[in-house]
Amino acid sequence: PESKLPDVKTTIFTTVGNLARKHHAIDLSQGFPNFGADPKLMQLVSRAMQQGHNQYAAMPGYYGLRENIAEKIEKLHGRAYHPEKEITVTVGATQALFTAITAFVHPGDEVIVIKPAYDCYEPVIELNGGRPVYVQLDAKGYRMDWEEFKEKITPKTRMVIINTPHNPSGKVFTKDDMLRLQEILRNTNILLVSDEVYEHIVFDEKEHQSASRFDDLARRSFVCASFGKTFHVTGWKIGYCVAPEALMHEFRKTHQFSVFCVDHPVQRAMAEYLRNEDHYLQLNSFYQEKRDYFLKALKSSKFKFTPSEGTYFQLLDYTQFSEETDKDLALRLITDHKLACIPISSFNVGERQDGVLRFCFAKKRETLEKAVEILCRI
Ligand code: PMP
Ligand code: GLN
C-alpha cells in the first residue's frame, strides 16, 4: 500500500540509542535521565494500584490531577484554566502535540515550524494533509527572525508551533519574543501550539515565558507539557495540554478516540505528589549544576559552545578541528570513542546544518565525568 509518510524513517533517537548499546557507548544521545526519580513518587504509584485505581481513568484525566495542574499554572503564570473544561492529561507531550495538530489541521493548511525542530511535529502535520512552512533560527546564535516569520504567514496559515526552551538549541524565548509573536498573530485566527516540555529547566536567572502568560496568545494556544521530563520518569509517558474551552472541546474529540485516557495509577500518584512537593521548583538549579560541570570541564577541549539557556541539552561546535559531517562524526564517536550524541542535522528536514552535535547532560556525575574525559581527548 502507498505510504502516507514515504520520507519518514525510524527516529534518530532509536537508531543512535541502538547503536550506543551495541558499542557499549556512554549514551548522551536521547534525552532521558540515567538517575532515578524520587522513591516517594514510585511508592505513590504502588499505593494507587493497591488502593484499586486500576480501571480506566476519566477520559480527560483524573480530576484531582487536573486541579493540581490548574493550581500550578495559576501560581506560575497567573492564568486560571478550568480543570473541567480546559485541561486534558495526555500520554506524554507527544500525544498532546499529535492531538492538537490532528484536531485542527485540514488538508492544504500551512503550519509554521521553527527549524531546527524536534522531530514529532512535521510527520503529524503531513499525516493530516497539512504543509509545514519553515522559519530557520539563525545558524550561530539560534535567534528568531520575527520579520522572516511574519513574511511566512499566508491566508492558509492555520497554526504555528513553537518550542521554548528549545530542543536542540537550548534557546529560551524572551518576553520580548513572546510579545512580538503576540503582535504578529493579533487579529488572525491562527492557532498556537506551544511545546513547553522543558518549562522547569531554565538557567542563569532566565525565566520561562509560557504562552499562557499572554492574553492574546493564551486565547489561541495549546500549551503542551511533560511530567516525564519534570519528574525524571520519561518512561511513564504522562503529560498534559491546556487550552481555552472551545479549543479543548475539539481537542478531546480526537483524544478520546486515540487513547481515551491515560494510565490511572500514575495519574493518582502524580496528583498526590504535586499536592505535597514543589520538586519542580528546584529543577532549574539541579540541572544548572550539571550543565555548569559539563561546560567547565569542556573548557580544555577543542569544542566551541554557547551555554545552553534551558532544556537538558548542550550543543557543541566542532568546526575548528574537523570537516566531517555531523552524522559521520557522531558515528565515529560511537564506534571509536564509545560516546553517543545526536547530530544536529537530524532536527532539520531537507537542509544540512553541519558542524554541531547535541549532548544530553541529564546524567549522573560519573557518566558526565567519563563523557568529558573522552571529549577532552578528541
Ligand atoms: N517536545 C520536545 C521538544 C521534546 O524534547 C520531547 C521529548 N522527549 C517531547 C516533546 C515529548 O515529550 P514526552 O516524552 O512527554 O512525550
Ligand atoms: N525528546 C527526546 C530527545 O530529544 C527524545 C524522545 C524520543 O525519543 N521520543 O532526545
Q: Tell me: ipTM over 0.95.
A: yes
Distance 241 CA to ligand 2 centre (A): 18
pLDDT tens digits, 269-302: 999 999 987 889 999 999 999 999 999 999 999 9
Mean pLDDT confidence for 4-24: 92
Alpha-carbon distance values, 130 to 108, 112, 188, 371 (Å)? 5, 10, 19, 41
Q: Which amino acid is at 118?
A: Y
Q: Decide the pairing of beta strands 221-226 and 191-195.
A: parallel
Q: Does the reported pTM lie above 0.95?
A: yes
Class of the domain covering 12-37+282-377: alpha beta
Q: Of ligand 1's atoms, which has the minimum distance to the CA of residue 228?
A: 15
pLDDT tens digits, 212-258: 999 999 999 999 999 999 999 999 999 999 999 999 999 999 999 99
pLDDT tens digits, 146-198: 999 999 999 999 999 999 999 999 999 999 999 999 999 999 999 999 999 99
- pLDDT on residue 321: 94
What CATH number does domain 55-279 carry, 3.40.640.10, 3.40.50.300, 3.30.450.40, 3.60.70.12? Answer: 3.40.640.10
Identify the sign of the CA torsion 196, 197, 200, 206. negative
What's the distance, Cα to Cα, between the start and end of the chain in Å? Answer: 47
pLDDT score of 54 more than 70: yes
pLDDT tens digits, 112-141: 999 999 999 999 999 999 999 999 988 778
The residue whose CA has the least distance to atom 7 of ligand 2 is 13
pLDDT score of 109 more than 60: yes
pLDDT score of 332 more than 60: yes
pLDDT tens digits, 17-33: 999 999 999 999 999 99
279 or 315, greater pLDDT: 315
Nearest ligand, CA of residue 166?
1
Listed by start position, the domains of the chain span: 12-37+282-377, 55-279
Residue partners of 357: CB distance under 8 A and separation at least 6: 315, 316, 318, 326, 329, 330, 333, 341, 342, 343, 344
Question: What are the grid coordinates assigned to 161, written together?
Answer: 508551533
The residue whose CA has the least distance to atom 12 of ligand 1 is 93
Cβ of 167 closer than 6 Å to ligand 2, yes or no, is: yes
- pLDDT on residue 138: 84
Q: What are the residues facing 333 on neighbouring strands?
A: none
Q: What are the residues facing 349 on neighbouring strands?
A: none
- pLDDT on residue 351: 57
Name all residues whose Cβ lies below 6 A of ligand 1: 31, 92-94, 118, 163, 167, 195, 197, 226, 228, 234, 239
Q: Is 36 exposed, middle or buried (0-12, 13-18, 19+ CB in 10 A)?
A: exposed
- pLDDT on residue 104: 98
d(CA 79, CA 291): 31
Nearest ligand, CA of residue 14?
2
Q: Which amino acid is at 142?
A: Y
